[in-house]
Structure formats: C-alpha cells, structure tokens
Amino acid sequence: MTDETPGAEPKPAAGGYRVLARKYRPQSFADLIGHGPMVQTLRNAFETGRVAQAWMLTGVRGVGKTTTARILARALNYELPGRAGGPSVDLSEEGVHCRAIMEGRHVDVIEMDAASHTSVNDVREVIEAARYKPVSARYKVYIVDEVHMLSAAAFNALLKTLEEPPEHVKFVFATTEIRKVPITVLSRCQRFDLRRIEASVLQAHLARVAAAEKVEVAPEAIALVARAAEGSVRDGLTILDQAIAYGGDDGVTPETVRSMLGLADRERVIDLFEAVMKGDVAAALRELSEQYDVGADPAVVLSDLAAFVHLVTRIRHVPSSADDPALTEAERVRGRAFAEGLSVRVLSRAWQILLKGLAEVQTAPRPLPAAEMVLVRLAYAADLPTPDEAIRQLRDGLGAPQPGPGPSAGGGGSGGGGAQAQGRVLPTLAASSPRPTARALPAREPAALVVASFEDAIRLAERNRDVGLKFALERHVRLVRFEDGRIEFNPVPGANPGLAGEIGRKLSLWTNRRWIVAVSGETGAPTVAETREATRSRLVDDARADPTVAAILARFPGAEIVDVQFPDAAGGTGAADGGFDDLGDAPLPDLDGYELVEEFGDFDD
C-alpha cells in the first residue's frame, strides 16, 4: 500500500537534525508501503469486531516491524477528542493518544526489547502488570521486539496469559527469526509476514523523500540505492541520507553512490561480462583494474557479475523479466542480446565459477589478484565447448581447437570466444574472429580387443577397476563354454538376475565389439573362487603330510597352516591361489625350498 506523500514524524522540540529513517517513519497505515494484505486484514477485522489478542510480525531488517507494531497500537487505542470510537485503521486525524504512542512514551503501550529482557522474571513482571487496567487508553498493548530471544522458560511462562489474556490486554510481537519462536506461541498469534519491498516501490518512495527534502537525486542513483537496500526501507533511507551528505551541493549522482558504496558501474559490469565471454583475458583484466582504481571492491564486482549472469539466465527463460523498471536500459537491451546468444549450460558454468570465486576473493589476503584469477578461469571456461558439444564435434570429424593460443592475450577479443567456438554467435560479439581449428580428420574406430580366455575377461575387469564385476565373475559364474565374443555360464544360487546382461554390456564396451552372454542350464565348471580354494586346500594338505612340517606342527601345539607360497625367480614369494597360470593341474613338487606360512596358537614352551 502506498501513498503520494511519505509520512513524517513530528518535528523534535529541540529542532535538531533527524535522520531520514526516523524523520519519514510512517505514522499511519496509509504511509506504509508494500504491506497491503496486512492492512486489508486489519481493516476488515476492526470493522467486524474480530480483534485478535496477539499478533506476530516477522520479516527481514528494515521492513517496518516495530513501526507497524506502533501503528497497530495507535489503531487499537484510536480516539478522537470529544467523540466516541473504537479500533480503526483510518488514522487520518491525530487522536488523543496517537502522538505519545508513536513517540514511544505512552504509559499504556509498553515496548520491551527481548534481547535484554530474556529471563522468566522479566515475563513474570509483564504477567503481573497485565492484570491491571490501562491508565487512560482503551487497551494496554505490549510490544515485544526480537521475541525469538526469550528463553524457553520465559516462553512457557507467557503461554497461559497469551492464550487467555485479560480483555484490556493486547500483545504485538516482532522477530527476524520466526523459526526460533516455539510453535506453541505461534499458534496463539495472528501472523503477518512483512516481505521485502519491491525495487520499483522502494524507488518511488525514495524519490518522494528526495523531493520532500528538496535534494536533486538522479533516477539512476535512486535505482542504485534501492538495489543496495535489498528490500529494506530503513536501509534505503540510511544510504540515501549518507549519499546526500556525501554529494553536498552537487546533489546525488550515480557516481556519488558508486564511489560511496564501492559499487561497480552496471554498464561496465556488462562490458566485463562480454570480455570474459569472448575469452579476451587482457580486456577483462584491464576493465577490472580500471574499476578497482575508481574505488570498486573486487568482491562487489564479481557479485555484480554473478547478478548479471542470473539476469541473463532469467531473461532467457522469462523474457518479460527484462521489463523490470528497476533495470537500466543497458541491462535490458544487452541482457536480451546475451540471452539469445548464450546457452544455459554456458551461463550455469559461469554462475558456478563466479559463486566459488566470490568466496575465494572474500577470504583472500589480496582480493584483486584473486579476482583476476577468477576472471582468467571464467574466460578459459567460457571458451571451452560443453561435453555434449565436444562429443558432437568428434563425431562430426571436427578437430578440437589448436592447443596453445587459449583466450586472447591481447586486445580485440581475437581469442575466438566461447560463443563462436560452440556454434553460438552473440550480437555484441559479431566482430570477433573464430578460433582456428585443426584439419578435419576421418573418424577412426578403435581396434577391437581380443579376449582369449575367461581369465583374461577377469583381468580386463580388474584393469578397468570394476571391482563388482570382477567379484561376480570369480564367485558367481560357473563357466559352461567360452570363446572370444561368447560366454555361456550357469549362475550360482543368489547371483544377480541381470548378471548376463551386465557382463555382455561391459565386455562389449571394453573390447569395442559385441559380446553374447547366455545363461545355460548345464552344471558348468566350479567358479574361479571355488577352484582356487580347492587348490589351496590341496597344497595345505600335502604340506601337512611332509615329515618336516608334521614335526613343526607337533612341536608347536595349536599351530595351523593357512597358506603355501612358492619362491619366484627374484627370490620373492607367490601365493598358491594367485591364479590359474601359477599352478594349473601340475603335481605338487618337493617341499624343500618352499616357504610355509603358519599361524600359531597359544603354547607354553
């Protein structure tokens, strides 16, 4: 809800200067901006006599929670001199109690800061005082600011009085952390969410305040102030107050606001975006350096750059976003051009790089070099094709860009630009020349891989680091027939029902030719794991029968043979279950020279 003229607090008796955020503090519901649904709800409630006993006002800082609470207290106690009346949202005339309530000095409107009154004793005083009728007003109104900071005991102590207060008592709570308020309290209140003020509404309000102050403020400067306020009226008025003092007799210009807040010129941010999208590193670094020299914060520049990426993405999906009055003409026109020329994948990649780079710049000991490295990274990433485009280029026989030149190191954007390299031409980048590409070569299929045995298939799975398939081949496959390109097997009970399809799919991928894998009803050979275990057991049994080993086992009661290893040519040892090529079906040789691995139990000697 808006009004043509901003409300203003009564002038202080001392005549001292009052900041704009206090001077133009709303005095009635008509002065509030952006909170129409709440005002309409209260109007209907007052007209029908459905006045609640408690209200919860929530929202970000500076949207008018405390001010709305005072106006609500004024409306509850509205009384014109010599006339009977009741609660009303029509506060066009100043009532008996209005001035004292809005100045925070009325005896029956008690404002309490929960940040400094958090204990149950503070709430107990409120409960005790609530029993007494108001001194002069219609209702005794308790305004509790930042109510989420009350302790759990204080909330519990307040519940009974909050649910069934005396008829003359009303509660108005305000908080920025609604999630920290117990649900038992919320259920006893009517809740109003005071949302951020829209940029266009805030700009109009700031323009009215500037006109009332007889200060010349450029429309673009007002737009910059509204954008910096992020939906907070108080922040917007505070920034405007500072800008008026900073600008002096020259008024408030866009350059004044940018210099004061360390903001980057919006149009120069767009120039920077164009440079990195073209892959022109030199132009991007030069632009960042010039903005830094005139006072722009590198982190703010990257933040504005990310905001423009978001704007271009929104315009691409919702073209009407470009009609937002809060946007400058350059943002509208050039934003549309970029939205038509850049793909969503490129914009998403730029957003991710900027989001990560912004955190790096904010924590870096030297923000400017860190920001420059982010721009270099972004320029090179913008010049790269997306994965699907790279695959398409390979399939079409197009050579990849020549390694070496990279994004342009000189002016003019001759580095080729991500837009042209990926088949996208931006209207603003038409003068850029495409990056030279390698000579197109005929596509060649990789040679097929021969798998001579089932053991080779297992090794192939191991080489490709597919542990799951290697385990399944060794323990779940009873081989019936094998030949290069075809496998028949009988799965063990409990094996994966889709094992045959998985084996065929992965072998076809690894060998570059089709494999036929079928499940057979024949019994098949033992699994590889069963064969290895049988071989190991046979070797252990034969070793146990050796007289020397038998003597050792008899000398150390509880000792057990767990494995048999063979010495290799290099003097090392190889496990008996190392594979088919290690043993085959050859008879066990003489145990002289073999190394026995024994596991000893407890013994006394």
Where are the domains positioned within the chain? Answer: 35-193, 199-261, 266-429, 454-519, 528-599
How far is residue 88's CA from residue 90's CA, in Å, rounded to a whole number? Answer: 5
How far is residue 120's CA from residue 161's CA, in Å, rounded to a whole number? Answer: 13
- Measure Cα distances from 433 to 231, 279, 303 in Å: 43, 11, 30
* CA-based nearest residue to 219, from 200, 234, 235: 200
How far is residue 95's CA from residue 28's CA, in Å, rounded to a whole number? Answer: 12
140-145 and 169-175 as β-strands: parallel, antiparallel, unpaired? parallel
* CA-based nearest residue to 54, from 181, 195, 163, 175: 163
- What CATH code is assigned to 199-261? 1.10.8.60
Residue 554's pLDDT is 82
DSSP E strands: which ranges in 90-207?
Answer: 109-113, 140-145, 169-175, 190-193
Residue 428's pLDDT is 43
- Measure Cα distances from 59 to 19, 225, 380, 461 in Å: 23, 20, 42, 58
Residue 355's pLDDT is 92
* CA-based nearest residue to 150, from 184, 192, 105: 184
Residue 437's pLDDT is 40
What would the two tokens of residue 176 be? 């920025």
* 8 Å CB contact between 42 and 194: no
Residue 1's pLDDT is 41
What would the two tokens of residue 151 be? 């302790």
Residue 578's pLDDT is 44
Q: How many helices (H) and strands (E) does the chain have?
A: 25, 11
Residue 385's pLDDT is 65
* CA-based nearest residue to 220, from 325, 335, 63, 333: 325
Collapse the DSSP code of 97 into the 3-class scheme (helix H, G, I; strand E, B; otherwise coil) and give the result: coil
Q: Residue 586, Cα to own-chain centre: how many angstroms?
A: 64
* CA-based nearest residue to 287, from 351, 365, 371: 371
Fold of the domain spanning 266-429: Zinc Finger, Delta Prime; domain 3 (1.20.272)
User: Which residues of the chain are modeled with pLDDT < 50?
Assistant: 1-5, 13-14, 398-406, 408-425, 427-445, 570, 573, 575-605
The DSSP bridge partners found for residue 567 are 573
- Measure Cα distances from 117 to 66, 145, 150, 584 in Å: 17, 10, 7, 85
Residue appearing with tokens 């306020």: 229
Same fold, 35-193 and 266-429: no
Phi, psi of 207 (to 5 degrees): -65, -40
Fold of the domain spanning 35-193: Rossmann fold (3.40.50)
Residue 438's pLDDT is 38
